[in-house]
Amino acid sequence: MKLMKIITKFILNLTSVGSIVLIATLNASQFAVMGVPPNVTDIPPTRSGGPRFIQPREDIDYRPPTQPGRPVRGGCASISQLGLTALMPTNKMGRTVSDYPTFFFYLPKTEAESAEFILKDPSGKQIYKQDVTISNLSGVIGVNIPANQNLPPLEVGNSYTWDFTVICDSQDRSSDQSESGTVKRVEISADIRSKLDQADPRQKTFIYAENGIWQDALSNLAAARRDRPNDAVLKADWESLLDSVTLGKIAKEPIVQTKPQP
């Protein structure tokens, strides 16, 4: 009987210890869940030190424009894993605070000699067109909308659609390569504006990216990289920013200069 009492007491103690461990585990899980911010799936994964783009919640459900019958890859592109690609979030929606923003595209090796960029107002009317010489070019290119008397600045609150097309054969446009997307001009708060006014060029990229201003985050960083192409920190920032919108494969491609056609 005495032996049975000792065994029973040992089992009860062992069970108590197991219960304490289980409770501690559950409490740790609860605290972990409490520490996760709401809608964490909307926040892109963080890469140490680099800027990460966070798309505004109201833009996430936006669906990109489609162009039936106009393939992304046409007959003049070289065989490559990377085709013509707009440097944009996956749904091709980007915000800007600029009157005349810049758009960026990855251009694969191609036999084409020219491309065209078209901007349309909210009603679908073409308001700007730029012909671009792309002979012997491959890499990331920027298309600037120039500030001139023929084109008023983008209006705050309005969304504009754009098309960038590589013209494979000017006589037969069925083989064109094309990308389309939307840019929305927005106003930023006085608080964000104050932070930008006090920020250095690198910090501005972080501020734009964290506040969902894609076009300006990318343009600002691209300009810095053109000025300092061998800067390892800016190179890492570029890779981090593109990786945050699933364009990591393009991040190592060179930034090349284009020439608008007369």
Q: In DSSP terms, which residues pair with 177 in a beta bridge? A: 166
Q: What is the mean pLDDT of the chain?
A: 81
Mean pLDDT, residues 239-243 taken together: 97
Mean pLDDT, residues 153-163 taken together: 97
| Euclidean distance between CA atoms 61 and 76, whole angstroms | 33
What are the tens digits of pLDDT across the range 22-50? 333 334 333 333 333 333 334 344 345 79
CB within 8 Å of 18: residues ≥ 6 apart = none
Mean pLDDT, residues 160-183 taken together: 93
Question: Residues of 65-76 as b/e, b for ≥16 C-beta within 10 angstroms?
Answer: eeeeebeebbeb
What are the tens digits of pLDDT across the range 92-147? 999 999 999 999 999 999 889 999 999 999 999 999 999 999 998 999 999 999 88
Q: Supply φ then ψ for residue 58, to 5 degrees.
A: -70, -15
Span of 54-58, 139-143, 156-160, 257-261 with lowest mean pLDDT:
257-261
| Euclidean distance between CA atoms 214 and 103, whole angstroms | 10
Q: Cβ(88)–Cβ(181) under 8 Å?
A: yes
**Is it the case that residue 78 has pLDDT exceeding 80?**
no
Indicate yes or no: pTM above 0.85.
no
